[in-house]
Amino acid sequence: MRIVLFCENRYAIDILQPIYQEALRQGRHSVLWYIHTPKIKSYTLPDGAKETNVMQEVYDFKPEAIFVPGNIVPYYLSGVKIQVFHGYAAEKKDHWIIRRYFDTYFTQGPYFTSHFEASAKKYKDFEVRETGWTKQDWIFQHLHDYDEEKQALLNQYGKKQIVLYAPTFSPKLTSLPYMKEELAKLLKEKDILLLMKFHPLTRQEWCDEYREWAKSQENALYIEASENVTRYQMMSDVMISDTSSAVYEFLLLNRPVITLNTIAKDIYWENIQQASDLLPAFDRALHDPSSIDKRKWVVDNYDPHLDGHCCERMIAEAEDYIQRHGVPEKRKLNLWRKYTSIKTFGNVKR
Do 207 and 223 sit in the same domain of this protein? yes
Would you mind telling me the total number of residues written for the chain in this entry? 350
pLDDT score for 216: 94
In a domain, 139, yes or no: no
The pLDDT, as a whole number, for residue 244 is: 82
Q: Specify whether 195 is located in the same domain as 212.
A: yes
Residue 268: burial class (beta carbons within 10 Å; 0-12, 13-18, 19+): buried
Residue 266 near residue 237, CB atoms below 8 Å = no
Name residues of the chain where pLDDT drops below 50.
none
Domain membership flag for residue 315: yes
Contacts 24+ apart (CB under 8 A), 262-271: 262/91, 263/91, 263/92, 263/173, 264/90, 264/91, 265/91, 266/90, 266/91, 267/294, 268/294, 268/295, 268/297, 268/298, 269/294, 269/295
Q: Which of 13, 5, 6 is nearest to 228 (CA)?
A: 13
Residue 14's closest CA among 69, 89, 83? 69
Q: What is the pLDDT of residue 92?
A: 65
Assess whether 48 and 180 both reside in one domain: no
Tell me: do 48 and 111 sit in the same domain: yes
Residue 65 has a pLDDT of: 98
Contacts 24+ apart (CB under 8 A), 334-338: 334/100, 337/75, 337/99, 337/100, 337/101, 338/75
202 in a structural domain: yes
Q: 12 lies in a domain? A: yes
Q: Which of 264, 325, 248 is nearest to 65 (CA)?
A: 325
- Given a contact cutoff of 8 angstroms between Cβ atoms, the answer to whether 136 and 303 are in contact is yes
Q: What is the pTM of this model?
A: 0.82
Convert 241-251 to b/e letters by CB count within 10 Å (16 or more is b).
Answer: bbbbbbbbbbb
> 269: helix, coil or strand?
coil
CATH number at residue 286: 3.40.50.12580
| Residue range of the domain that includes 336 | 2-133+307-345
Same domain, 296 and 162: yes
Helix residue ranges, H only, the chain = 11-26, 55-61, 110-123, 134-142, 147-157, 176-189, 204-215, 229-235, 246-251, 278-287, 289-302, 310-325, 335-345
Give the domain-ending residue among 287, 302, 317.
302
Residue 109 confidence (pLDDT): 95
Tell which residue, 10, 16, 24, 18, has the closest CA to residue 1: 24
Both 268 and 220 in a single domain?
A: yes
pLDDT value for 336: 94
Residues 155 and 177 in one domain: yes
The CATH number of the domain holding residue 122 is 3.40.50
As for how many domains the chain has, the answer is 2
Same domain, yes or no: 152 and 298: yes
User: Residue 93: its pLDDT value, please?
Assistant: 65
Q: Residues 96-135: pLDDT tens digits?
A: 788 999 999 999 999 999 999 999 999 999 999 999 999 9
**CA 290, CA 324: separation in Å to the nearest integer?**
45
Q: What is the dihedral of CA 82, 87, 90, 91, to 10 degrees?
A: -130
The pLDDT, as a whole number, for residue 97 is 81
